[in-house]
Chain A
């Protein structure tokens, strides 16, 4: 089933065009990896999906992005509701300088999801459990989130993202600042999360894309060169550029 449908998406930074005519379908409850060399526009595309590009003054997005058949670039789209449904995890772990508990309860609080302290406690506990962090931190929920290790911080950010039960989770190179062990933990977690969420992950590591994703899109110079099942892209790509990139001849 198709969850997100991008049609002819163009993105401009001022006068410079960063993305050209991107059309891409994203399958529900699967992991889609976006790969490509630095500066190719894969992160920009990811940020279109929850309208994070709104934050950048000079950035403008054209084209349609349908999520559940609703165009999020339409004026009637409520960004607050949209971002409630589409969570995001960033490249560098960015926990708020607050306690672990406050970090996770942040989203549910601003969206008014818990009626009582008990409900909030439950949300925090389930989110941390789903992010495979509960066992490590359950005794220090009221200590600052910035005191955790890098991998723990990133899992905290994942817990924060899933606390509002989003349908889609966007991950922008979530493991690039982490060591191999923390990376393995996050990858395992991604596999688990796809049961309930649709996941789109931008990554520089081809091995990671091959390990975690079912579908892959290859970006180059602002264009989507090729997309399809990860198996096909990695074993038998149609495009010469994809082949070159996968085999490490450039990028």
Chain B
């Protein structure tokens, strides 16, 4: 029903566009000069169609359920029901009206269900009538109002402005909402687990929290030595470090090659090929690390007499490094290419060779941008999840041996939130605390990276 109504409104919108434009043409044919192009008259009418429809739809969506509920429950007032009993009655009524009620059907509820259905159908038909009449009224009003010297361009531009503003507002509000949910859950978590234990504790063992029955009372002492985040922070930075050891040299050198040495033809093919690396899903990297690189390293280590875990930080970090190569390579290529040709010419004209020019002029000039690209790579490495979950294990060892398995913040969030979770449980809230700290770390990195990149931009523009 709603879908049909919606389609009808869209059709009405098109029709009013058509009529608006037609009226503009009519005015034009009387040799009067219009204040805007004919399309604007059309858009103007279409907006007058869309706005009332949107307003009524949203008001309806907000108030209809409340009003229906009030009307249904008015039958039960003065009978001494408690609030949650009333709610239950209302839920039963709704279920019965949909034919999904399985319990005992009392006559009261049956009567309510019938009333509910009739109320809904009244609401539905009155909605159709109100929406359509509002649209027709507003379009007719606007149609009458437009004349050769009425302003249509400005309202249309304003409307567009408002639509675009709403879209960006939605994105911003979502971000703010996510951050706030993180903050509140994190605060709850730190009410049970002292901040000091979290930041400086060296034992991360959330499995201990899994054994608690949620009906038991919360006893903070049972969580001592459970949520010490040092091992996973260390693991996160360690694996990111290994990844950057792979990604920075390879990415940077391939970036320099692409920007300075590669012929146009090679560049044309090589650059998209390298960027394909960025398009591979991280799950694929994950099982590549877990099933190919991990066992290979283990075998290699065994043949050299080293003890290598099948799930090692080295395998995860190395593969993560490969994943990050295209980011660094592509960004540094862009940065190097944007160093003005006049600097290269100046250096070549002094008799410098290509490598001298790169080392002494181009690289220093591009350095801020390159640092920016590296920092963006680091924040990707820290936020990467799948590769670590699959290739480096879930046990949070505090170790600096790349051949052992370690775990990261992201992997631990996965561990905590897989399976059943209870809200308000420290185990679940630990994930929020981890998410919050991850967010803070990457936020700082991104701010630094953006600053550095901006500073670089100011230099040449």
Interface set of A (CB-CB < 8 Å, partner B): 50, 52, 55, 57, 79-84, 87-88, 90, 92, 94-98, 106-107, 110-111, 146, 157, 160-161, 164
Question: Does B77 interact with chain A (Cβ within 8 Å)?
Answer: no
Contact partner of A106 (CB less than 8 A), chosen from B263, B342, B350, is B350
Contact status A57-B351, CB under 8 Å: no
Contact status A110-B345, CB under 8 Å: no
Of B121-129, B179-187, B360-368, the one with at least 4 CB within 8 A of chain A: B360-368
A153–chain B nearest beta-carbon distance, Å: 11
Question: Does B57 interact with chain A (Cβ within 8 Å)?
Answer: no
B337–chain A nearest beta-carbon distance, Å: 15
Residues of A within 8 A of B365 (CB): 96-97
What separation, in Å, do the CA atoms of A147 and B97 have in the docked complex?
79
Contact status B360-A110, CB under 8 Å: yes
Contact status A55-B344, CB under 8 Å: yes
Taking chain B's interface residues, is the majority helix, strand, or loop, or is none over half, making it mixed? helix
What separation, in Å, do the CA atoms of A157 and B352 have in the docked complex?
15
Contact partner of B340 (CB less than 8 A), chosen from A94, A110, A160, A164, is A94
Contact partner of B349 (CB less than 8 A), chosen from A52, A92, A98, A146, is A52
Residues of B within 8 A of A87 (CB): 349-350
Contact partner of B264 (CB less than 8 A), chosen from A50, A57, A81, is A57
What separation, in Å, do the CA atoms of A79 and B353 have in the docked complex?
9
What separation, in Å, do the CA atoms of A94 and B346 have in the docked complex?
7
Residues of B within 8 A of A50 (CB): 349
What separation, in Å, do the CA atoms of A111 and B361 have in the docked complex?
15
Residue of A nearest to B349 (CB): A88
Contact status A97-B351, CB under 8 Å: no
Contact status A164-B342, CB under 8 Å: no
Question: Does B347 interact with chain A (Cβ within 8 Å)?
Answer: yes
Within B261-301, the residues touching A (CB, 8 Å) are 263-264
Nearest 9 A-B pairs (CB), nearest first? Answer: A83-B351, A88-B349, A94-B342, A84-B351, A107-B350, A94-B346, A80-B351, A97-B365, A110-B352
B455–chain A nearest beta-carbon distance, Å: 12
Contact status A90-B345, CB under 8 Å: yes
What separation, in Å, do the CA atoms of A52 and B343 have in the docked complex?
13
Q: Which of A57, A84, A87, A96 has the most CB of B within 10 A?
A: A96
Residue of B nearest to A82 (CB): B351
Within B129-178, the residues touching A (CB, 8 Å) are none
Contact status B346-A157, CB under 8 Å: yes
Residues of B within 8 A of A83 (CB): 348-351
What separation, in Å, do the CA atoms of A98 and B359 have in the docked complex?
13
Residues of A within 8 A of B263 (CB): 57
A29–chain B nearest beta-carbon distance, Å: 21
What separation, in Å, do the CA atoms of A102 and B296 have in the docked complex?
50
Question: Does B307 interact with chain A (Cβ within 8 Å)?
Answer: no
Residues of B within 8 A of A96 (CB): 343, 346-347, 360-361, 365
Can you give 9 A-B contacts (C-beta < 8 A)?
A: A52-B345, A57-B264, A83-B349, A83-B350, A83-B351, A87-B349, A94-B346, A106-B352, A110-B356
Residue of B nearest to A146 (CB): B459
Contact partner of B342 (CB less than 8 A), chosen from A81, A90, A98, is A90
Given A96-B365, A106-B352, 15 new contacts (CB under 8 A) = A55-B348, A57-B263, A80-B352, A82-B351, A83-B350, A84-B350, A87-B349, A87-B350, A88-B349, A97-B343, A97-B459, A107-B351, A110-B351, A110-B360, A157-B346
What separation, in Å, do the CA atoms of A96 and B344 have in the docked complex?
9
Residues of B within 8 A of A107 (CB): 350-351
Tell me whether A106 and B360 are in contact in the complex, defined as CB-CB below 8 angstroms, given that A57-B263, A80-B351, A83-B350 are known contacts. Answer: yes
Residue of A nearest to B346 (CB): A94
What separation, in Å, do the CA atoms of A161 and B365 have in the docked complex?
20
Contact status A164-B346, CB under 8 Å: no
What separation, in Å, do the CA atoms of A97 and B455 have in the docked complex?
13
Within B230-271, the residues touching A (CB, 8 Å) are 263-264
Residues of A within 8 A of B340 (CB): 94
Residue of A nearest to B365 (CB): A97
B261–chain A nearest beta-carbon distance, Å: 12
Residues of A within 8 A of B345 (CB): 52, 55, 88, 90, 94
Residues of B within 8 A of A106 (CB): 347, 350, 352, 360
Within B441-461, the residues touching A (CB, 8 Å) are 459
Tell me whether A98 and B364 are in contact in the complex, defined as CB-CB below 8 angstroms, given that A57-B264, A83-B348, A90-B346 are known contacts. Answer: yes
Contact status A97-B364, CB under 8 Å: yes
Residue of B nearest to A87 (CB): B349
Contact partner of B350 (CB less than 8 A), chosen from A57, A110, A146, is A110
